[in-house]
Amino acid sequence: MSRRRRIYEGKAKVLFEGPEPGTLVQYFKDDATAFNNQKKGTITGKGVLNNRISEYLMIKLNEIGVPTHFMRRLNMREQLIRQVEIIPIEVVVRNVAAGSLAKRLGIPDGTQLPRSIVEFYYKKDELGDPMVSDEHITAFGWASPHELEDIMALALRVNDYLSGLFLGIGLKLIDFKLEFGRLWDHDELRIVLADEISPDNCRLWDVRTNEKMDKDRFRQDLGKVEEAYQEVARRLGILAEAATASDTASSNVTSISEKE
Ligand code: TMP
Ligand code: ASP
């Protein structure tokens, strides 16, 4: 991994030059951060699991016609992606009040929202990713009105599809964050889904117990962080079918799977 040219290093991923022009290799780290980098830690095996979970979800979304940057998984921690021009906006879709929305508006955690709500945050670590409106986005030219329309429509489609997919495995999709990029496709500039979709950027609660099965376990020091990521992967059918919940939780999935 060190011989390749490093294009960008983020908090949870590294991007390397890909084998062909217009491609990149996306490497998933075990590093975890929260609250704009104030809390730092490692979630053992997270990179391996997020690589698999994101691969699975991106393929599914591709199948229903949501264009994504994903090409194929290369190994346990890397996937080949199309190089896109990232739009500097984090798109958050919420179905149930939690996290910053619950805090900002004083709505109890777990309150069903009257309808799905889409929010935008300007991707700027120095400013702590401030919330912005569509007016800021188009006025400052971060995305055109037409691109923003595509982004909204795609985000809501992803929400509908993933809400159903997760409900099918006993998980409520509370909220999640997406990133989009621009890609030249046959002389046309298209908006495609980029980054990753994993328990790092989704809130997933068990339908029966409301147990949190996502990065909030790390953010809030709830313990059993690795196990929650493993359980999501297991329910998606990504971890060995034979493994039971308790097997999976007590075995070191990383050391097994990284031999691949
Ligand atoms: P929030 O409630 O903290 O605003 O988070 C909303 C959703 O977005 C939640 O599923 C976590 C995700 N998220 C990220 O992926 N990255 C971030 O930097 C933040 C703040 C949230
Ligand atoms: N990943 C973000 C950070 O480190 C925030 C979060 O996911 O809570 O700042």
235-245: per-residue pLDDT in tens?
Answer: 999 986 434 43
Q: Which ligand 1 atom is the nearest neighbour of the CA of 102?
A: 2
Position 122 scores a pLDDT of 98
Let me know if residue 257 belongs to a domain: no
Please report, for the domain that includes residue 134, its CATH number.
3.30.470.20
Task: Report phi then psi at 145, rounded to 5.
Answer: -55, -40
Give the Å distance between the CA of 200 and the centre of ligand 1: 9
The tokens for 174 are 């509370």
Same domain, 235 and 182: no
Q: Which residue's C-alpha comes closest to atom 9 of ligand 2? A: 36
Same domain, 76 and 113: no
Determine contact, residues 213/206, Cβ cutoff 8 Å.
yes
Does residue 37 have its Cβ closer than 6 Å to ligand 2?
Answer: yes
Report pTM.
0.93
Same domain, 128 and 49: no
Position 248 scores a pLDDT of 43
Strands 23-28 and 78-82, sheet pairing? antiparallel
User: Residues in the chain with pLDDT < 70?
Assistant: 1-2, 240-260
Position 252 scores a pLDDT of 45
Rounded Cα gap, residues 47 and 31, in angstroms: 8
The residue range of the domain holding 105 is 85-206
Position 2 scores a pLDDT of 54
Position 169 scores a pLDDT of 98
- The 10s digit of each residue's pLDDT in 62-73 is 999 999 999 999
Domain total in the chain: 2
Let me know if residue 133 belongs to a domain: yes
Position 206 scores a pLDDT of 98
